[in-house]
Amino acid sequence: MKKEVLIVGAGPSGLATAACLNMFSIPNIILEKEDCSASLWRKRAYDRLKLHLAKQFCELPHMPYPSTFPTFIPKDQFIQYLDNYQARFKPNIVYCTVVDSANYDKYKGTWSIMACDKVTGEVKEYTAKFLVVATGENDEGMIPDISGLKTFSGEVVHSSFYKSGAAYTGKNVLVVGSGNSGMEIAYDLSNFGAKTAITIQSPVTRFTLKHALH
């Protein structure tokens, strides 16, 4: 199958790329390994997740957020926005398709992409002049090699599989990492009554909300 542009991944970046190409009537196709678009948001995001930036910095091209949306948009509303975006720009998405390889022929000036249908096992070759990799940087969780972790008798959960602190009420929980996910999950756990501690690799500067807003 030959297309002008092949996009790998139907997350927000892949959808936005396809929308822009469709605006200029440039033939394109998206290969998505899951059975839905924005799978990380739909399947592997914790319940209280919101966009970490104000909405005016996170709009996709050619479609603003509804004026009724709050400044920091919750997960469910963001998914609703993506669904409306997809309905409007109608990207051509092939779901349940895993890209196995991509090779560039410099003489022909084209990419040869081999992809496998997860349902049927059928392998197809796609040819495109341009290849866009929009798989994101958070597709696979990384658990550090911590001494004693393999023999630890408690539960070990990566943030991508965490949903809510409701299951941890009254329990001792250590959160490893102080990025956006770590800090939000620690906050969520404490709100549900977990005895929460957090490890931070480097020194941090603390300031009050009052100072942050001025």
**Extents of the domains making up the chain:** 2-133, 159-212
Beta strands in 13-92 (DSSP E): 28-31
Task: Give the separation between CA 193 and CA 189, rounded to whole angstroms.
Answer: 7
State mean pLDDT over 113-127: 97
What is the dotted CATH code of the domain comprising 2-133? 3.50.50.60
Position 7 confidence tier, pLDDT thresholds 50, 70, 90? very high
Position 175 confidence tier, pLDDT thresholds 50, 70, 90? very high
Position 212 confidence tier, pLDDT thresholds 50, 70, 90? low
How far is Cα of residue 214 from the mean position of the Cα atoms in its chain? 32
State mean pLDDT over 181-191: 94
Cα torsion angle, 142, 143, 144, 150, sign:
negative
Give me the residues paired with residue 63 across strands: 60
- Among 9-23, 37-51, 200-214, name the most confident range: 9-23
Compute the C-alpha angle 191/195/201, nearest 5°: 100
The answer to whether 48 touches 4, Cβ cutoff 8 Å, is no
- Whether the predicted model's global pTM rises above the 0.95 cut: no
